[in-house]
Amino acid sequence: MSDIFTVAGLHAGYGAGDILKGIDAAVPQGKIVTVIGPNGSGKSTLIKTLAGLLPARQGEVRLEGRRLNELTAPQRVRAGLSYVPQEYNVFRNLTVLENLKISLEFMGGARTSGGAVLSDELLALFPELPEKFRVRAGALSGGQRQMLAFACALTSQPKVLMLDEPSAGLSPKYMADIFGAVKRVNGRGVSVFMIEQNATEALRISDICIVLANGRVRLCAPAAEVAGMSDVHSLYLGDARETTPPLGEAA
């Protein structure tokens, strides 16, 4: 299976030092790839660099073989790469409908033949949104706002959807809803690149897991295989029974 999205030798950071130190990663066509790692490992820096919010100092980012390095964040969206940040991912003072309209206008989305904001495909993915059209996004629950952010990102019909901590701060119920939505989006053919702290639940729906530590890829393996590793459980999945040292620091 071919890779739709690739990262090679990526270095990036703030100030004088590099936070990312030669990242190599790939998203196969139609798969969900989840990145896990401890706080400070470079996860947020990685996804912001891929989205075009932070310049790469070295290395390449490619979508379907096309180099994205020189493209701005909006240009990357138009190329087929959508990004949902962890915070400030919707306009809370605007209604759900206004958020969707803005996304259609500024992310290059196309209205349906009847002029509807949501395509039949998006309606099938997020059937609860139309009844909230007149509600301000700030009045929605955290899970509902995240669903709206997903829908806004998908108005541009991306080839790859990048998610930064989509379950952050959500209740178990909404967390399950969010991961269910990610799986449904992927089932429609959209490849997914996801940063997640809740590794246990994320790995259940993922195909591939990348473990990031100290700005480097420490492991890339099938998600089910990573979920069953005792050392990764102890570090990232909340299993306190294991006391193995952090990846990369073992003797």
**3-class DSSP state for residue 109?**
coil
What are the pLDDT digits (tens) for 117-129?
788 888 888 888 9
H/E run at residue 27: strand 20-28
Mean per-residue pLDDT, 183-201:
93
Residue ranges covered by each domain of the chain: 3-236
- Residue 230's pLDDT is what? 74
Minimal CA–CA distance to 141: which of 96, 99, 182?
A: 96
Place of tokens 């706002």: 145
Sequence-separated (6 or more) residues with CB below 8 Å from residue 118: 100, 112, 126, 129, 130, 151
Statement: residue 249 has pLDDT above 70: no
**Residues composing the chain:** 251
- Alpha helices, DSSP H, located in 4-42: none
Look at residue 235 in the predicted model and tell me its pLDDT.
55
Q: Convert the pLDDT of each residue in 43-67 to its tens digit.
A: 999 999 999 999 999 999 999 999 9
DSSP string, 137-181: GGGS-HHHHHHHHHHHHHTT--SEEEEESTTTT--HHHHHHHHHH
Q: 10 Å Cβ neighbour count for 73?
A: 13
pLDDT at 108 over 90: no
Confidence band, pLDDT 50/70/90 cuts, at residue 238: very low
Measured between alpha carbons, how far is 10 from 8 in angstroms, rounded to an integer? 6
Under CATH, domain 3-236 is a member of which superfamily?
Answer: P-loop containing nucleotide triphosphate hydrolases (3.40.50.300)
Position of tokens 């059209």?
133
pLDDT digits (tens, 9 = 90+) for 10-37: 999 998 889 999 999 999 999 999 999 9
86, 17, 54, 38 alpha-carbon torsion, rounded to 10°: -20
Between these two residues, 198 and 191, which has the higher pLDDT value? Answer: 191
Instruction: For residue 101, give the 3-state DSSP assignment.
Output: helix
pLDDT at 149 over 50: yes
Tell me how far apart the alpha carbons of residues 125 and 229 are, in angstroms, rounded to a whole number: 33
* 196 pLDDT higher than 70: yes
pLDDT band at 173 (very low <50, low <70, confident <90, very high): confident
Helix (H, G, I), strand (E, B) or coil at 6: strand
pLDDT band of 244, cuts 50, 70, 90: very low
pLDDT over 70 (residue 232): no
What is the average pLDDT score of the chain?
A: 87
pTM for this one?
0.87
The string of pLDDT tens digits covering residues 79-91 is 999 999 988 889 9
Average pLDDT over residues 88-106: 90
Residue 223: the pLDDT is: 95
| Amino acid 251: pLDDT | 25
pLDDT for residue 112 is more than 70: no
Helices 96-106, 142-154: axis angle to 10 degrees equals 30
From the CB of residue 129, how many other CB atoms can be counted at a distance below 10 Å? Answer: 22
Does the pLDDT value for residue 115 go beyond 70? Answer: no
Output the CA angle 150-151-157, nearest 5 degrees.
100
